[in-house]
Amino acid sequence: MGTLVEIAAYPDTNRVRTAVAEAYERMEAIEAATDHREEDSVLAALRRGERVTLSGDLRAAFASAMMIARESSGAFDPTMGKVVSLWGFDMDTPRLPLEQELRNSLKTVGFEKVTLAGSIIKADSPVWLDLGGVAKGYAVDEAVKVLKEQGASAGIVNAGGDLKAFGKKPGGKRWRIGVQAPDDHQELAGVLEITNGAVATSGDYERYFETGGKRYHHILDPGTGYPARSGLRSVTIVAFDCLLADALSTAIFVMGPEKGLELLKGRDGVHAVLVLETGEVLTTGGVGSEVGFERR
């Protein structure tokens, strides 16, 4: 998943140590299931137009991605695979695609052209899935399940800032989660305090390259195929599940502050911290009350 994963769990017993090892294994299995780079992966077969049966993990991640795609009217779209691969953000060497290449690749994009029937994906033409917007969140949630099932009373699974925490730490303190400032890895825009729940961030500083004096980042607008420019530098979502936080943060980054906040209305237990291009930090109602927040 292109990131460092850290797991901490309590109490420090042999059983819980084994649980931590199993949680890593569970995440590796999900990474393999949702992989699209290897030619022998299910997603590679799908884009060659082969009929494939989805594993339980792939089905779950895809179904959730499709739900967020519908709810965000396609600002989040798991069928962006061909466009993502043109930019190479999923590889080590990103590059600026030609306009013509982008136009052609955009023809393969459109979650509404794809349906899930049982464990089969149905579409009229090959489907280029990229589950990079949900896989990390899903893997974090599943790792937490393993820890809890194996007797951990508290813990945190952190996949490069997309994380889920549960239970009381020794000493009973809440989990403190830093929200990074966009331009300085050492600086924080604020600190969240949560008890049980997940946090995920999408930011334009996470993966990007510069060419011709311009910056290009990895969160793409499905309407244009170019990096989304919606007035935001980062979106941090607090939710019970990391998958939801992960997908919503990407969707809202694309939608921008106004439409993005609209998407959050009526979702109990879901909160947001938005860092705008102007440097302003916007928070939803529950931030500072339902979840703790200190501005920096």
Tell me which residues in 21-40 interact with ligand AMP (CB under 6 A).
none
Q: 162 CB contacts (<8 Å, ≥6 apart)?
A: 136, 137, 140, 198, 199, 200, 201, 242, 245, 246
Closest to 231 in 3D by CA, of 262, 257, 260, 199: 257
- Least distance in Å: CB of 122 to ligand AMP? 20
Alpha-carbon distance of 66 to 117, in angstroms, equals 13
80 binds ligand AMP (CB under 6 A): yes
Q: How far is the CB of 71 from ligand AMP (least distance, A)?
A: 12
Q: Is 246 in the site for ligand AMP (CB under 6 A)?
A: yes
Q: What are phi and psi of 116, to 5 degrees?
A: -105, 120
Out of 60, 129, 219, 245, which residue is the one contacting ligand AMP (CB under 6 A)?
219
Q: Which is nearer to ligand AMP, 38 or 294 (CB)?
A: 38
Residues 6+ apart with CB under 8 A from 289: none
Is 47 in contact with 128 (CB distance < 8 Å)? Answer: yes
| Shortest Å, Cβ 243 to Mg ion | 9
Longest alpha-carbon distance in the chain: 58
Sole window of 4-12, 35-43, 49-57, 212-220 interacting with ligand AMP (rule: CB under 6 A): 212-220
Asked if 182 interacts with ligand AMP (CB under 6 A), we say no
For residue 2, with 0-12 CB atoms within 10 Å meaning exposed, 13-18 middle and 19 or more buried, which class applies?
Answer: middle
How buried is 169 (Cβ within 10 angstroms: 0-12 exposed, 13-18 middle, 19+ buried)?
Answer: middle
Positions 83 through 102 that interact with ligand AMP (CB under 6 A): 84, 89-90
| Closest distance of CB 253 from Mg ion, Å | 8
| Closer of 77 and 142 to ligand AMP (Cβ) | 77
C-alpha dist (Å) from residue 214 to 208, 209, 211, 223, 227: 10, 8, 5, 20, 11
- The reply to whether 111 sits near ligand AMP by the rule CB under 6 A is no
CA distances from 245 to 69, 156, 167, 188, 236 (A): 14, 15, 19, 20, 8
- Nearer CB in complex with ligand AMP: 9/203: 203
Q: Tokens representing 276?
A: 């705008």
Q: Choose the one of Mg ion, ligand AMP, none that binds residue 80, judging by a C-beta under 5 to 8 angstroms depending on kind.
A: ligand AMP
| 223 membership: H or E segment, kind and range | none
CA distance 129 to 35: 10
Residue among 7, 33, 244, 254 that touches ligand AMP (CB under 6 A): 254
Question: By Cβ distance, which residue is nearest to ligand AMP?
Answer: 132
Q: According to the binding rule CB under 6 A, does residue 197 interact with ligand AMP?
A: no
- Of 221-240, binders to ligand AMP (CB under 6 A) are 222
Q: Indicate which single residue of 220, 239, 275, 291 sits in contact with ligand AMP (rule: CB under 6 A).
A: 220
Would you tell me which residues interact with ligand AMP (CB under 6 A)? 76-78, 80, 84, 89-90, 130, 132-133, 202, 206, 218-220, 222, 246, 249-250, 254
